[in-house]
Amino acid sequence: MSFLHKIAGKTVEGIEHAKLSIEGIVNPDRRHDDPEEKMHDEIRAQIMAGHRFQSFADERAENFVKWHIDGHDYMYALSEMLDSAKECIFILDWWLTPELFLRRPPSYHPEWRLDRVLKRKAEQGVKIYVVVYKEVTQTMSMSSHHTKVVLEALHPNIACMRHPDHIGSKDDVEFWSHHEKVVVVDNDRACIGGLDLCFGRWDTHTHPLADVHPTDFSLTLFPGQDYNNARILDFQKVEQFASSTVSILESGRMPWHDVHMTLEGPVVLDIVQHFTERWNEVKKRKYRTDERYDWLALPHNINAAPNEPVARHPHREKWQSMGHRFKQRFQREEGEEQEEGYARPSPNGSMRVQAVRSVSDWSHGVLTEHSIQNAYCQLIREANHFIYIENQFFISNTTTEGPVKNLIAQALVERIIQAAKDGTKFKVIIILPELPAFAGDVKSESSLQYIMAGQYRTINRGGHSIYEEIRKAGYEPMDYIRFYHLRAYDRLNAPLTTFIAEMEKNSGVKFHQAQVAYARQIVGDMSDDINRPDAQKNVTIQIPQASSEGMVVSEKTEVKTETIPLPKSDEEATEIIKKFQDGAGPIRGDEDVSDNVIQHMLNDKTSLADEKWLGTEEEELASYISELVYIHTKLMVVDDRRVIMGSANINDRSQKGDGDSEIALVVEDEDMVKTTMDGKPYMAARFAASLRRKLFREHLGLIRPQLCEDREEEVTSFMRPAPNPNEDEMDLEEDQRVADPLSEEVQNLWNDTARKNREIFTELFRPVPTNLVRDWKAYENYVPKVKIGHVIPDIPLQQVKERLSNVRGALVEMPIDFLIDEHSFVEGPEWRGLNPTLPIYI
């Protein structure tokens, strides 16, 4: 009978959900149709009309902002910020992994796992508020349910909301996501940029592909699910975080390049406003009566700053009367002393900063705001010399026709044509990932094709691309704008049939058993109750076989699996690791063998020729791998003076405003430094110029490798949060080499490096895309049948080592002629409005 009651209950619940969904479809403007709501919308419109870029926020002076390149530096800085919290922590994230290590190797820093940090702070009385994107579970694998359950089980002071719902509510959202990556501590310091706090994002400047340490697992940087290659296989069951989806013995990870900011200053108040609006809107829709989720009040002091736009905020007084109000320290009344422990950034607070965003009714309960797109277009049009862009995507339009609506590409075309007409030197450099981070074969996977086609339609084909429009005006686009990727190589320390096979024989333990045991050991207290009905019992590792599918895995790829029992306790895991490592005793000799060789792409003291190997030549040849470096940055630097950085990609999802929710900052530093632009004396802004130069140096290999081998790591200035300034490196010889982005020397260094690196990787690995493949027939003939990312057949080891020793940095040319003769690739029916799902990808 109880079963029938459940069925009846589910039926009633389903009917109610259907009614709510229909109501939402029939009345999409229900939050903006009565007189009071219309008045609120009008107030917001008036506020935005008075601000540059039509943003909700105005420009603010006296801020201190610092950049952090790659996850290693940012997450260390974040760990210090979180540890300093006394009152509150706010987090907005697309994906948040509680089991993420902020400092590494994890063996040396177990206390700096994110969930443990948040638990410590909650126990100290800090209130922690988290909003994460609620994914479409049928197509995405990040498990916001796991995030919410784990975080809220840590302490009552932690509250985690998931949004949006996708079916069965008035606010069904099919396609779009909350995409911001924001942390605020005590309403005093904040973080904004491209890095989510989740698996796959932590990385060093070196970007290792390999993480095999046969005789010392404590050096592992990427335990369990954190060793990932989304181009081979997406994350699987992330709540089983001791798992590894790919074999670390035979597959390289996909490196992750990104940039983030930490900051201090009055612009933090605008970021807090954005968070508070989001939190209260989601509470109103989903958690109205749940007391775990406080209402929040805006922290602004209107008595101290009566002219603040937020004084007119439609909900300020209401939230003030009902919400929890945390302190702020930027607006003080006369006679009010500065609170101890919260020093202001001045005299370092030399930056004017403006918050911009993409929000709409579904994401924020407001009419559509696309001030990020406005900022990009205006900053491009106001550029005088040079634009540098790093972005995960590049899908835009030069006209108002067609399915793509954002007009960033149009702004680039107009500015370039104007420079050409004026006869002035003007350069645009754009760096994108070689491929989107989706598993699948380019030829058969529609999501890959749509995104790649959208990018090529933006760049150089389809009728109204950037290159085509510039050529129509009578100029050569390559003289003004070029596109690039990043790619790396490494060597897996995995002599499978000799050294590792002997270790397995001597110890009676398989390598993968030790690998899983280490992951279990690092997971620690989160897996101790192995007897729970839902507890993970086994780990399945996928072992790749030879494939001819363009360095990817699809349903057609032959994949072997190995299932390993998860140790039942930390003690058992420790014993398994010890037994395996002791198996090397009788055959030691690996002390001089490096676990990675990627450091030789950078400014290393040694060379690839110096590297030793403990195994056969055949094993060493089979251990060389290559992979794209995935660019996830959302950054534009203009004239080495102005920067826009945040969570927004260059595509319609991020830029239209009514798609993904986003936030970014426009940063203009008034601390100016003497340099040159096209050989002429020039004053650049320290923040913009130092960031652009460091990125150039990383991509060109003009930095030292960043290794994580010591228990007591040297903490550099770049790992400290604001307001600790980054070390001034502008006098370094390597920095001077890239100081003038318009000089012939820098342009030649950049383009020659990209061309040479591309030639070497094509010769040894045949990555996709390539200019050698102009149609699908050529694609089939080009792609080698090898294990994913490995050296192609019939290349001798000596040739591999000699050629790779000439790779400098990860910069490679973008193959802009890939599939250029395959017209259906960019001119299919989906680009004529006949595919309703196309907006998901563009």
Mean pLDDT lowest among 211-220, 444-453, 475-484: 444-453
Among 172-181, 469-478, 571-580, which range has the highest average pLDDT? 469-478
So what's the pLDDT on residue 785?
84
- What's the DSSP call for residue 246? B
* pLDDT confidence of residue 329: 86
∠ at Cα 159 (221, 531), nearest 5°? Answer: 60
CA dihedral 63, 668, 358, 831 (to 10 degrees): -160
The reply to whether 239 and 105 lie within a common domain is no
CA–CA gap between residue 372 and residue 392 (Å, rounded): 16
**Torsion region of 809: left, alpha or beta (phi above 0 gives left; psi -120 to 50 gives alpha):** left
Residue 758's pLDDT band, with cuts at 50, 70 and 90, is: very high
Phi, psi of 531 (to 5 degrees): -85, -5
Q: What pLDDT is stored for residue 334 in this prediction?
A: 72
**Residue-wise pLDDT tens digits, 22-81:** 555 556 567 788 889 999 999 999 999 999 999 999 999 999 999 999 999 999 999 999
pLDDT of residue 528: 43
pLDDT of residue 618: 94
Within a domain: residue 101? yes
Q: CA–CA separation, 666 vs 352, rounded Å? A: 8
67 and 13 inside one domain: no
Q: Is 668 within a domain?
A: no
Q: Which tens digits make up the pLDDT trace of 115-131? A: 999 999 999 999 999 99
Q: Which of 596, 588, 580 is nearest to 492 (CA)?
A: 596
Mean pLDDT, residues 359-365 taken together = 94
Q: Are residues 45 and 125 in the same domain?
A: yes
Structure tokens at 385: 């010399």
Domain that holds residue 222: 217-251+494-588
CA–CA separation, 520 and 575 (whole Å): 12
Whether 620 shows a pLDDT value over 90: the answer reads yes
- Per-residue pLDDT, 519: 85
For residue range 151-167, list pLDDT tens digits in order. Answer: 999 999 999 999 998 66
Q: What pLDDT sits at residue 153?
A: 96
Mean pLDDT value across the chain: 89
Q: Which residue, of 557, 588, 619, is where some domain finishes?
A: 588
324-339 pLDDT, tens digit per residue, is: 999 998 887 776 777 7
Q: Pull the structure tokens for residue 744.
A: 């012939």
Q: What is the mean pLDDT of residues 403-423?
A: 97
Alpha-carbon separation of residue 811 from 154, 217, 487, 632 (angstroms):
43, 31, 7, 15
* Crossing angle for the helix pair 114-123 and 144-154, to the nearest 10 degrees: 40
With CA atoms as reference, report the closest residue to 424 among 478, 479, 344, 472. Answer: 479
pLDDT of amino acid 557: 55
In the structure encoding, which two tokens stand for residue 502, read together? Answer: 């002997």
Query: Is residue 675 classed as helix, strand or coil in its secondary structure?
Result: strand
Task: State how far the Cα of 121 lies from the Cα of 208, in Å rounded to an integer.
Answer: 32
Report the pLDDT value the prediction gives residue 550, as an integer from 0 to 100.
Answer: 47
Contact 298, 276 (CB under 8 A): yes
- Whether residue 245 sits in one domain with residue 129: no
pLDDT band of 10, cuts 50, 70, 90? very low
For residue 336, being part of any structural domain is answered with: no
Answer yes or no: do 52 and 14 share one domain.
Answer: no
301 located within any domain:
yes
Please tell me the predicted confidence (pLDDT) of residue 3: 37
Question: Of 43-47, 166-170, 291-295, 702-706, which range is least confident?
Answer: 166-170
- Residue 143's pLDDT is 84
Structure tokens at 353: 């900063």
pLDDT, residue 196, reads 97
pLDDT for the residue 45: 95
Which is nearest to 214 in space by CA: 490, 489, 509, 488?
509
Q: Please identify, among 290, 308, 329, the residue that sits at the C-terminal boundary of a domain.
A: 329
CA distance linking residue 340 with residue 85, whole number of Å: 14
Same domain, 297 and 279: yes
Q: Are residues 240 and 154 in the same domain?
A: no
The whole-angstrom separation of Cα 498 and Cα 620 is 11
Asked if residue 234 and residue 129 are part of one domain, the reply reads no
- Asked if the structure places residue 652 within a domain, the reply is no
| Terminal-to-terminal C-alpha distance of the chain | 50
pLDDT, residue 165, reads 85
Q: What letter does residue 498 receive in the DSSP assignment?
A: I
Position 7 confidence tier, pLDDT thresholds 50, 70, 90: very low
Pull the structure tokens for residue 395.
Answer: 């899908």
Q: What is the mean pLDDT of residues 774-792?
A: 91
Same domain for 280 and 240: no
Inform me whether the pLDDT recorded for 790 exceeds 60: yes
pLDDT in tens, 655-677: 999 999 999 999 999 999 999 99
Q: Across residues 435-451, what is the average pLDDT?
A: 84
269, part of any domain:
yes
Which of 274, 301, 329 is the C-terminal boundary of a domain? Answer: 329
Residue 742, exposed/middle/buried by CB under 10 A (0-12, 13-18, 19+)?
middle
Q: How many domains does the chain have?
A: 3
CATH number of the domain at 57, please.
Answer: 3.30.870.10
Same domain, 145 and 241: no
Answer yes or no: do 188 and 130 share one domain: yes
Q: Give the per-residue pLDDT at 585.
A: 86
Peptide bond preceding 495 in cis form (omega within 30 of 0): no
- What pLDDT does 20 receive? 52
- The CA radius of gyration of the chain, in Å to the nearest whole number, is 27
Are 65 and 667 within 8 A, CB to CB? yes
Backbone angles phi, psi at 515, to 5 degrees: -60, -45
pLDDT in tens, 539-566: 777 776 555 444 444 455 566 777 888 8
Q: How far is CA 442 from the centre of its chain?
A: 22
Cis check for the bond before 164: say yes or no (omega within 30 of 0): yes
**Residue 165 exposure: Cα atoms within 13 Å on the Cβ side:** 16
Span 185-204, pLDDT tens digits: 999 999 999 999 999 999 99
Q: Cβ(117)–Cβ(132) under 8 Å?
A: no
Residues 452-487: tens digit of each pLDDT:
999 999 999 999 999 999 999 999 999 999 999 999
Residues 276 and 186 grouped into a single domain: yes
Position 240 scores a pLDDT of 61
pLDDT tens by residue, 728-752: 999 999 999 999 999 999 999 999 9
Residue 120 lies in a domain: yes
Is the pLDDT confidence value at 635 over 80?
A: yes
Q: Is residue 77 in a domain? A: yes
